[in-house]
Amino acid sequence: MIVLLLSKGIGMRCNSIQPELVNDHKNDKGKVLKNSESCRWPIKAVQALFDMPFNDLIFQAQQVHRQHHEANTVQLSTLISVKTGGCPEDCGYCPQAARYHTGVENQAMLSVDSVVTAAAAAKEQGATRFCMGAAWRGPKQRDIESVTEMISAVKALGMETCATLGMLKPGQAKQLGEAGLDYYNHNLDTSPDYYDAIISTREYQDRLDTLQEVRDAGINVCCGGIVGMGETRETRAGLVAQLANLNPYPESVPINHLVQVEGTPLYGTAKLDPLEFVRTIAVARITMPKAAVRLSAGRREMSEAVQALCFLAGANSIFYGDKLLTTGNPEVQQDQALLNKLGMRSLTA
């Protein structure tokens, strides 16, 4: 039984943030991150969680959640794009890739003043973490210098800071940390076996190397993935296993539901059943009990009922107020109305 497996810990944790590469269960490149008894969560154990009766899975996830987190609370983050479009990568889901015709207009780097104004508005509306994203393969040194100014200025407002800037070179994470960065987001996107179907311009190992740079710099890791990209349940289990076996697992785990954008290769992909998304939230909660599990991209397309099930399954963080306005943000008002209906409250800084 799954409960028995959980109580015994299912083996020991992996020894490194980058589990050994082996040749069993090969992908197209002949390698995949190791799934062995030395890892706390073998893929088969994670898939067994996915396969549980829905009510049993949700019940167990909520029990685990309450053991490690305050019930009925949610952490609010706001995300802003500080540099939009023109990315050279070929991620099949991304409208900011330069090679796809999606109608996204390129936008140069925002000024520090613009970012601080947006962050102050986000704080006023209840967000405690401000995330800054840029569409790069990886930042150049001049970009790092600009972003560190933004980080320091937002940090001075009394907010947690997060950045997602692509792959980091040695030493760049240290610079970000010295500027006051609390979290760095770098998603794995999917399982190692399915990765080549989504992106070809970056290796899976590149993502792991950036995560190691972040860890070595003493910055909290924000790392999750995207579901609804045509993957199987086994693929979703592989993604969660990979995340859960990082040592330590990420402090923040965003679970994204693919937002289909016309012009990207994944536009027209068969949509994922909403209950399968809820299952993914629950499995992430059980396998990474202390992490903040965030409802990320795709939440706007979910009904209130599905969002409520996600909170029941252990989600305790959301992106909030995506379109920042100084007054009368209707998305913020809708989110607050939903939290009020559910008897939930936002965490304070």
pLDDT digits (tens, 9 = 90+) for 44-54: 999 999 999 99
Nearest Cα neighbor of 46 from 243, 314, 194, 306 is 243
Q: Which of 14, 39, 91, 310 is catalytic?
A: 91
Q: Please name every residue paired with 41 in a beta bridge, in sequence order, or none if there are none.
A: none
Catalytic annotation on 94? yes
pLDDT band at residue 228 under the 50/70/90 scheme: very high
Say yes or no to pLDDT of 17 above 80: no
In the chain, what percentage of residues exceed pLDDT 70? 86
Q: What pLDDT is stored for residue 330 in this prediction?
A: 53
Prediction pTM value: 0.85
87 catalytic? Reply is yes
* Residue 294 annotated as catalytic: yes
Locate 41 and state its tokens.
Answer: 């969560």
Q: Each residue of 275-302: pLDDT tens digit?
A: 999 999 999 999 999 999 999 888 888 9
What is the per-residue pLDDT for 103? 79
Number of CB atoms found within 10 A of residue 71's CB = 10
Map residue 198 onto helix, strand or coil: coil
53-101 residue pLDDT tens: 999 999 999 999 999 999 999 999 988 888 887 787 888 888 888 788 7
Quick check: is 131 catalytic? yes
How high is the pLDDT of residue 323?
53
Residues 258-271, buried b or exposed e (16+ Cβ, 10 A)?
bbbbeebbbeebee
For 36, list phi and psi in degrees, rounded to 5: -145, 175
Average pLDDT rounded to a whole number, residues 178-206: 94
Q: Does 158 have pLDDT greater than 90?
A: yes
Name which residue leads in pLDDT, 167 or 37.
167
Residue 31, pLDDT score: 36
Average pLDDT, the chain: 85
Nearest to 208 by CA among 342, 20, 3: 20
How far is it, in rounded angstroms, from Cα 289 to Cα 251?
10
Catalytic residue among 222, 236, 299, 310: 222
Looking at per-residue pLDDT, the higher value among 14 and 60 belongs to 60
* Active-site position among 87, 236, 299, 310: 87
Query: Could you tell me the pLDDT band of residue 243, with boundaries at 50, 70 and 90?
Result: very high
126 or 325: which leads in pLDDT = 126
115 HSE (CA, 13 A, CB side): 31
Query: Is 14 a residue of the active site?
Result: no
The rounded distance, in Å, linking the Cα atoms of 316 and 307 is: 11
Active-site residue, selected from the candidate residues 39, 131, 223, 310: 131
Residue type, 163: A
pLDDT value for 94: 85
Summarize the confidence of residues 226-253 as an average pLDDT. 96
State mean pLDDT over 185-203: 93
Residue-level pLDDT at 28 = 38
Structure tokens at 305: 């009922």
- Residue 282 φ then ψ, to 5°: -65, -45
